[in-house]
Amino acid sequence: MDILLQQIVNGLTLGSIYALVALGYTMVYGILGLINFAHGEVVMVGALSSLTVIRPLAASGLPGPVVMLIGLAFAALVCMALGFSIERVAYRPLRNAPRLAPLITAIGVSIVLQQLAMLIWGRSYHSVPELLPNDPHDFFGASITEVQIVIIVVAAATMAGLMLLVNRTRLGRAMRATAENPAIAGLMGVDANRVISMTFVIGSALAALAGVLISANYGIAHYHMGFILGLKAFTAAVLGGIGNLAGAMVGGILLGIIEALGAGYIGDLTGGVLGSSYQDVFAFFVLIVVLIFRPSGLMGEKVAERA
């Protein structure tokens, strides 16, 4: 088996999911300049709430893809409502507050969501029913499962759809205008509050999708899965240049591949001194290096300090 190709396939799968989550961070950051710390937890809620629907339906014998779609739809609704409420309750009242205040409420929201999820779904790891055939296909010497194919294709299609939405629709134009300059956009008749709400709703829908996909990929979901995933996705967003949609996608996929390659080769590279348990180090290490040499990320615009 070709290890290099295999790691790239794995990395692409993981990276597609990072990219979906990273988009949520980057859209909010682009418009509000805020790190939506709770976004990772929204992914977790997406994964677990879809599971609530998927479990009984899967047992009823409906075809797997249908069950998955229903689960996804349910999760998307839950997450969209959640994202909308988070913005209204925890961020909107603080729009002109000191910079750290919304960050603290975001941390608060994230803790609350985690604990609520633990109370609702329990502490244990939930296994996710296999809805898609998980047989490996040979792909130039590497193996790729149908789940992986679905993840990559669905993520790519969703991102293409998002690009269309942002670049071709009225809402997209309003979003870009608000990101550029909320005050001026407001003068031009854009309802900034509505745009911001929509941004959260769209980002949360993507998060729900990511949650469903990642739990399908690993076959497992639990109440604290959102945290590290959110962290990685935020890293991906920064890597690509935060505020930049294409950057989030590139950053996500790149991070996924770097991690997979890192995990695959770190042992050989260091003569066995460092093992694959250092996978997470890779992500942060890359982040730090990129930020030092290209502080605005790979695709970010250089922002000159205004005098």
Partner 1 sequence: MTVLLEARRVSKHFGGVQALKDVSLSINAGEIYGLIGPNGAGKTTFFNVLTGLYRRDGGEVVFGGTPLRLSSPHQVAQAGIARTFQNIRLFANMTALENVMVGRHLRTRAGVIGAVVRGRGTRAEEAAIRTRAQQLLHYVGIGDSANRVARHLSYGDQRRLEIARALATDPKLLALDEPAAGMNATETAALKTLIEGLRADGLTVLLIEHDVRLVMGLCDRVAVLDYGEKIAEDIPANVQQDPTVIGAYLGGAA
Partner 2 sequence: MPNALRKPWVGIALIAAVLVVAPLAVGASLGNAWVRVLDFAALYVMLALGLNIVVGFAGLLDLGYIAFYAVGAYLYALLCSPHFGIHWPVWAVLPLGALVAGIFGVLLGAPTLRLRGDYLAIVTLGFGEIIRIFLNNLNTPVNITNGPQGIARIDPITLFGQPLSRPLEFLGVGFSGVMLYYYLFVVLALGIVFVGIRLQDSRIGRAWVAIREDEVAAKACGINTRNVKLLAFAMGASFGGISGGLFAGFQEFVSPESFSLLESVMVLCMVVLGGMGHIPGVILGGLLLTILPEIFRQGAGPLQQALFGTVVLDPEALRMLLFGLALIAVMLYRPAGLWPEPRHRSEYKQ
85 binds partner 2 (CB under 8 A): no
The piece of 54-62, 94-102, 186-194, 196-204 that touches partner 2 (CB under 8 A) is: 94-102
Binding mask 128-157 for partner 2 (x = CB under 8 A): ------------------------------
* Residue 304 binding result from partner 1, partner 2, none, given CB thresholds of 5 to 8 Å by partner type: partner 1
User: Can residue 231 be called a binding residue for partner 2 (CB under 8 A)?
Assistant: yes
Which three-class secondary structure string do you get for the chain?
CCHHHHHHHHHHHHHHHHHHHHHHHHHHHHHHCCCCCCHHHHHHHHHHHHHHHHHHHHHCCCCHHHHHHHHHHHHHHHHHHHHHHHHHHHHHHHCCCCCHHHHHHHHHHHHHHHHHHHHHHCCCCEECCCCCCCCEEEECCEEEEHHHHHHHHHHHHHHHHHHHHHHHCHHHHHHHHHHHCHHHHHHCCCCHHHHHHHHHHHHHHHHHHHHHHHHHHHCEECCCHHHHHHHHHHHHHHHHCCCCHHHHHHHHHHHHHHHHHHHHHHHHHCCCCCCHHHHHHHHHHHHHHHHHHCCCCCCCCCCCCCC
Q: Closer CB to partner 1, residue 184 or residue 289?
A: 184
Q: Does 273 bind partner 1 (CB under 8 A)?
A: no
Q: Does residue number 5 form part of the binding site for partner 2 (CB under 8 A)?
A: no
The distance of closest approach from Cβ of residue 126 to partner 1 in the complex, given in angstroms and rounded to an integer, is 50
Does residue 295 belong to the site contacting partner 2 (CB under 8 A)?
A: yes
188 binds, among partner 1, partner 2, none (CB under 5 to 8 A by kind): none
Answer for which of 99, 124, 268, 304 binds partner 2 (CB under 8 A) is 99
Q: How many chain residues touch partner 2 (CB under 8 A)?
A: 53
